[in-house]
Amino acid sequence: MEIEDIIQKLWSGVRKKHLYPQLPLPTVIEGGEDVALEIKSKQLAISSAFYEKLKGKMDGEEIVEAVLDHGITHYMYCPWDFHTHITLYNEAKKVVRQKDQAQRATSYFMDVVTDTYCVKEKDTKIATLYKNLPKTGVHEVLAALYEKIWGEDLGTGGHEELVNRLSRIPYLERKRWRESIRKFTEVIQGILEKEVANEQQSSQREPNPMGEHSLENYSLEEIDRGLREFASAVEELQEFKETVEDLKEELEGKGYSAGGMGRGKGNAIDANLLYYMKLAESYTLPIRKLPIEKRGYLHPHAHKPWEIGKPFADIDLWTSFGKIIPGITQIWTKREGETHGEFEGTPDCLIIIDSSGSMINPREKLSYAVLGAICACNAYLKHESRAAVYNFSDALRGNKVVLEFNHDKERIYQAICRYFGGGTALDPDDITYLLSCAKKPDIFIITDMQITNLEKLIDFFKKIENRVTAVHLGTNVHTARFKEGTEKRKNISLFNVKNKEDIPKIVLGKVKEYLTSPSEGR
C-alpha cells in the first residue's frame, strides 16, 4: 500500500531528524477522514482517507512527513508527559472554568507549540500541510496566527486583533507555558464558547484535523507518575481535586484506580485520597536492606606469610607446597564470616489522628497532619506490616473511626482522611482494643493536644510500653501538661512542630529510627 511504503521510506530519516524517539513504526488506519493522525499509547497511526483527500494538493511524501513531524513533536516536546498535559489543562481551566473548553484550549495550545517548534527547529512541511487543510472556527484563527508567527502564506488572514494578541505569546519557552496557556485561553475564549455552543446545537463535533489529545496517549504508569508530580506541584488541594474530578471518567475508563493500576475498573477514584497518596509518595523511606551480620564462626579468610614462632596449626600445606620455610610457607588468617542476614519482624503501626474542629479539614486544604499520618502508614505497609487507624473528634459521642490492623491502603487512607470537625475527646478503650489486636505496635499520635480528656490519655500512655511518637502543633497549656506527664517515659517521644510542613519529615525520621532498631520482645 502506498502510504505504508512511504512511511517505510521516510521513517528512519524522520526519526533521525527528531533525535530518535522511542516510537514504533507508524501504522495506517482506514477511514478517520477528518483526522490526520491518531496517537494511542505511543503508536502513531496515519489516516489513509486523510492522505487521499490531500494527495491532490500536496506531494504524498510531504503529507506523510508533515504528519509524522507533528505527531513525533507532541511526543518529544509538547506535552512530553502526562504531568505537563494536566498542568496545562489546569491552567486553561482557571480561565474558562469549563472542562470541555479547557480541554480544547489545551489541545489547541499544544498544537501551536508543537507546530511552531517544528517549523523553527526542524526542516518540515507542516506549513504546506496547513495551507491545504480546511479552516473554520478556531482553526481559521490559528491558521492566521501561523501566518503571522511563521512568516508563511497559508491562504488565510483576518482576525487581526486576536492574532496580534496571540502572536505575543512565547510558545517556545517551556518555563512560561503555564502563563502562556492562560493568555492563549483568554484570547480564544470567545471562539471556544461559540464552538461549544454550535456543537451542542448540531450535536456533531468538529474534530481537530491534526488529531485529538486524550489520555489514550499515555500508559497507566505515565498517568501515575504524572499525577504524583502534579500533586507535588499544585499550590492548593482544590486544584488537584478539580482536575482529577474532571478527568475521572477517562481515568476510570483506562483502568486507573486510586488503589493502584492494572486492577480493572475497581473502585471509583476519590480525588482527595489520590492527592494525599501521590503527595506521600514524595516522602518515602527506602526499604530496609538486609543487615550484614556475623555468622558466629571463623572461616579461613586469607593467607599471610608464616613467621618463626607462629603456630603450626594454621599452616596451609597446599599453598606452602609442603615446605616449612619462611617466605614460602603460608598460614591462614581466620575471620568471622559476614553475610546478609534476615529481617526481623517489623512491628505494626497504630495511627491516632485528631480530626476535631481545630484541625484542618483535609478535604478542603492540605493537612500536613494527615500527610504525616499517611507517610507513616506507607512506610510500615512497605515493610509488610499492618496499620490501624483511630481517627477521633468527639469519640465519646461516636465521632470516631476505629479501623483495625490491615494491609488495605485505600481503607487506611479513607480512615485517616475522614474529618469530623467536632469536639476533641478520645476513648482510651478504643485504643486499648486496637493495641490488643497486634503485637506491641508502634503508635503515632498527631494532634493539637487540645483534648478535653487529656489526663486520661496521659494516664493511658504512662501504662503502655509501646513506642509512642506524639506530634503536636503549637504550644499551649495542654502540650505542656502532656510533656510533663510523659517526660519520664523513655518510650514516648514528643515533637512540637512550629512549621506544619515539617510534620512528614519528623514522622519519617522517627519511623526510620524505629525500623532500624526493632523494639525488644518481638
Partner 1 sequence: MKNGYFQTRIRGIYKYISENLYLNRPDISIKDESFNSTLLFGLLTGLNRGKELIIGEPGLGKTTSAEYVGSILYRYPLGVIWGSEVSGHPEQTEEKIIGRPHLGELNKGKEKVVWSNFAQIPVKIVDEINRLPETKQSMILNGVDRGNWEYLNEILINDEYSLFATANYQDRGTNTIIAPLIDRFDILIESRHPGSNIAYTIGKEALSHNPLRHPQYEKELQQILRGENPYEEKMALAEGVCDLFGEYIKETLGIEGLTKEERRTINEERMALDYDVDANAFVRMALAELSFCHKFGQKRSVEVCEDGCHYTGYLCHHIKNCASNRLPMSIRNYAQTLAWFLEDDGVDLEHIRLVIPYVLAHRIQWKDSYLSKKEGEGRNDPFQIYLVKEATEEIFQRYSEQREYLLEAFSVGYRAFAGEAITPLEGDHPIYEEIKKDIGAKDEKSL
Partner 2 sequence: MKNPFEAFHQAGARKREIPLDKILKSKEETLSKILAGYEDLLKNEAKDLVWLMQYSTVIKAYSIAEKGMEGLEYTAEDIEEFCFALDHSDQIPYLITGPAGVYISVLCNHAKEEEICLHLQDLNVKINLLGYRLPANKKLIVEGNVGDFTGIGLDGGELIIEGSGKNYTGAGMKRGKIVIRHNLGFNTGHGMTGGELIVGGRIKGLGKIVGGKVYERDQLIFPTDGIKPFYT
Strands 492-497 and 468-473, by their bridges, are parallel
With CB under 8 A as the contact rule, the residue among 80, 136, 404, 476 that binds partner 1 is 80
With CB under 8 A as the contact rule, the residue among 25, 197, 298, 317 that binds partner 1 is 25
- For 30, half-sphere exposure in the C-beta direction (CA atoms, 13 angstrom radius) is 1
Query: Which of 62, 63, 28, 32 is closest to 43 using CA atoms?
Result: 28
284 binds, among partner 2, partner 1, none (CB under 5 to 8 A by kind): partner 1
Say if CB 18 and CB 76 are below 8 A apart: yes
With binding defined as CB under 8 A, does residue 517 bind partner 1? no
Site for partner 1 in 114-143 (CB under 8 A): 121
97 vs 301 by CB, closer to partner 1: 301
With binding defined as CB under 8 A, does residue 324 bind partner 1? no
Say if CB 424 and CB 394 are below 8 A apart: yes
Query: Which of 327, 330, 329 is closest to 301 using CA atoms?
Result: 330
27 vs 319 by CB, closer to partner 1: 319
Site for partner 1 in 176-235 (CB under 8 A): 220-221, 224-225
Distance CA 122, CA 427 (A): 69
**Three-class secondary structure of residue 154 per DSSP:** coil
Distance CA 274, CA 267 (A): 12
318 binds, among partner 1, partner 2, none (CB under 5 to 8 A by kind): partner 1
Distance CA 236, CA 226 (A): 17
With binding defined as CB under 8 A, does residue 299 bind partner 1? yes
Question: What does the binding site for partner 2 look like in residue numbers (CB under 8 A)?
Answer: 116, 119-121, 148-151, 164-165, 167-168, 170-172, 179, 182, 186
225 binds, among partner 2, partner 1, none (CB under 5 to 8 A by kind): partner 1
Say if CB 280 and CB 362 are below 8 A apart: no
Say if CB 519 and CB 469 are below 8 A apart: no
Distance CA 427, CA 448 (A): 17
Give, in order, the Cα–Cα distances in Å from 199 to each of 100, 127, 213.
11, 28, 19
Query: Which of 4, 41, 9, 51 is closest to 26 using CA atoms?
Result: 4
With CB under 8 A as the contact rule, the residue among 10, 29, 58, 76 that binds partner 1 is 76
242 vs 281 by CB, closer to partner 1: 281
User: Which single residue is written with the C-alpha cell 523553527?
Assistant: 120
With CB under 8 A as the contact rule, the residue among 284, 475, 516, 517 that binds partner 1 is 284
Q: Which stretch binds partner 1 (CB under 8 A): 60-68, 250-258, 315-323, 496-504?
A: 315-323
**Shortest distance (Å) from residue 437 CB to partner 2:** 50
**Shortest distance (Å) from residue 422 CB to partner 1:** 36
364 binds, among partner 1, partner 2, none (CB under 5 to 8 A by kind): none
With CB under 8 A as the contact rule, the residue among 197, 268, 298, 302 that binds partner 1 is 302
Residues in the chain: 522
**Shortest distance (Å) from residue 466 CB to partner 2:** 48
Strands 468-473 and 442-447, by their bridges, are parallel
165 binds, among partner 2, partner 1, none (CB under 5 to 8 A by kind): partner 2
151 vs 296 by CB, closer to partner 2: 151
b/e for 184-214, b at 16 or more Cβ within 10 A?
bbebbbebbeebbeeeeeeeeeeebbbbbbb
Site for partner 1 in 418-447 (CB under 8 A): none
Site for partner 1 in 360-399 (CB under 8 A): 382
11 vs 150 by CB, closer to partner 2: 150
With CB under 8 A as the contact rule, the residue among 164, 319, 432, 516 that binds partner 1 is 319
Q: Which stretch binds partner 1 (CB under 8 A): 73-81, 250-258, 395-403, 472-480?
A: 73-81
Distance CA 171, CA 174 (A): 7
**Shortest distance (Å) from residue 355 CB to partner 1:** 27
Q: Where does 444-488 have alpha helices with state H?
A: 454-463, 477-486
With binding defined as CB under 8 A, does residue 164 bind partner 1? no
Strands 43-47 and 37-40, by their bridges, are antiparallel
Distance CA 223, CA 243 (A): 13
Say if CB 294 and CB 337 are below 8 A apart: yes
Is it true that the peptide bond before 504 is cis, omega within 30 degrees of 0? no
Site for partner 1 in 237-266 (CB under 8 A): 261
Say if CB 43 and CB 24 are below 8 A apart: yes
With binding defined as CB under 8 A, does residue 236 bind partner 1? no
**Shortest distance (Å) from residue 321 CB to partner 1:** 6
User: Which single residue is written with the C-alpha cell 556475623?
Assistant: 294
With binding defined as CB under 8 A, does residue 77 bind partner 1? yes
**Three-class secondary structure of residue 431 per DSSP:** helix
**Binding mask of the shown chain, residues 5 to 24, with x at each position contacting partner 1 by CB under 8 A:** ------xx--xx--xx----
Greatest Cα-to-Cα distance within the chain, rounded to the nearest angstrom: 105
With CB under 8 A as the contact rule, the residue among 27, 41, 164, 282 that binds partner 1 is 282
Contact residues: partner 1, CB under 8 A:
11-12, 15-16, 19-20, 25, 76-77, 80, 121, 174, 220-221, 224-225, 261, 281-282, 284-287, 289-290, 299-303, 316, 318-319, 321, 323, 328, 337-342, 382
